[in-house]
Chain A
Amino acid sequence: EADIYQTPRYLVIGTGKKITLECSQTMGHDKMYWYQQDPGMELHLIHYSYGVNSTEKGDLSSESTVSRIRTEHFPLTLESARPSHTSQYLCASSRQGGSYNEQFFGPGTRLTVL
């Protein structure tokens, strides 16, 4: 079944740890995105990708990095987690196209850094 998967769903980790948030989609989409969302706040685009080996930073400055080695996989890595990274991270994907196509969202990863 076509879907977007994010793991883990919840993560509590200590300061200084390296973490990778996984995102995979079986939608056949070229575009993928990572958003950060604090409670009661807007979603901020932190990274996006148009396809394999394409990654760009979004509107919100982030200390995270991403990679796009396979079309279906778009992991996000924090080299050294800090309490300020505590947030919800949403992965999304969409079809390629000149105008905007619908973005499909994953279930999210709620990260807490102690």
Chain B
Amino acid sequence: AQRVTQPEKLLSVFKGAPVELKCNYSYSGSPELFWYVQYSRQRLQLLLRHISRESIKGFTADLNKGETSFHLKKPFAQEEDSAMYYCALGEWGTGNQFYFGTGTSLTVIP
């Protein structure tokens, strides 16, 4: 069963415009949600996680259990934000499984 859905494979925005990368999940328990990012020629790395409630590089993401969503947002996109973004879900407590979405390739147009 698909645990994490990222409906947009490609997303382009202009520099300075707001950006939102969508993520929906399917899980009946208490999930842990993450956003990972992969910049060109770099490794996949953690961007932020929902339990930290932090803003990293201007990005925030709020877990909405009612809508089962964990969308990633930034009010003003920068060229250096161009990258591949993956939403991920971990099964809390058991630590047994970790599911990634298909990823969204973000391009910020100068």
Contacts and interface: CB of A to CB of B under 8 A. Distances in A.
Query: Looking at chain A, what size class is its interface with the partner chain?
Result: 20 to 34
Interface string B83-110: 0001000101101111111110000000
Interface string B1-21: 000100001000000000000
B74 interface: no
A108 B92 CA distance: 26
Interface stretch (A20-28, A38-46, A70-78): A38-46
B32 interface: yes
Contact of A100 (B9, B44, B95, B103): B95
A42 to B, nearest CB: 4
Given A40-B9, A102-B46, A102-B49, A45 B98 contact: yes
Contacts of A41: 102
Interface residues of B, number: 23
A57 to B, nearest CB: 11
The winner among B4, B9, B43 for most chain A CB atoms within 10 A is: B43
A107 B95 CA distance: 23
Interface of B: 4, 9, 32, 34, 43-46, 49, 51, 86, 90, 92-93, 95-103
Given A43-B86, A104-B45, 12 more contacts: A42-B102, A43-B100, A45-B97, A59-B97, A97-B95, A99-B51, A99-B93, A99-B95, A100-B49, A103-B98, A105-B43, A105-B44
